[in-house]
Structure 1
Amino acid sequence: MICADFFRNEHDRLVGFRITGHAGYADYGEDVCCASVSSAVMLTANTVTEAFKIKADVAVEENEIILRLENDSSEEGDKLILGLLTHLYFLAEEFSGRIKVTVRDN
């Protein structure tokens, strides 16, 4: 299962996320669920750091990516992360039981 944890600050802004795991929807290289999540996460991380030039700590490991905004009051960062959160909610509906999405206080 893919676990998508989103972090929210005391002002109710999204300030980061941690995505881990595998969907197990299909064989390696053919798993459209994993590919959908991976593509959306990388698009978001690259849009935050490269297109909007928002400072963020990004760590990529085997089966894990973590992004945390350095400035947790960034309105643009909040909206970009909200877009990913919304997209993953839709994917979790489409691929039932393969993606778990949670929002946690920071």
Structure 2
Amino acid sequence: LDEPFGALDALTRSHLQDQVMAIHARLRNTVIMITHDVDEAVLLSDRIVMLTNGPAATIGEILPVPLVRPRRRVELVSDPIYLKCRAAVLRFLYERNRFVEAA
């Protein structure tokens, strides 16, 4: 899935994210999804593969997301594991951006 929820309003996006999690729980299949939304990545993922910038992008870091399932977004807002994963993704993005700007 390549940015499937990017053009949606917040409520519709949340509803469809919940549907994806329900389908995944039922089928237990592998889903590969591309997103630029940090919260969406942490909510939906068991593993986040973060890429470097530019046309020659490569895998920069792989972050395991050890949150229990089923996940409920309202409960995750204050979950220490969620916050730690979110911070790790943001740190990666800002450090990579700073590296690209310096080059």
The TM-score with structure 1 as length reference comes to: 0.38
Q: Return the structure number with greater strand share.
A: 1
The structure with the larger Rg is 2
Higher relative contact order (CA 8 A, sep 6+): 1
Greater helix content = 2
**TM-score (norm: length of structure 2):** 0.39
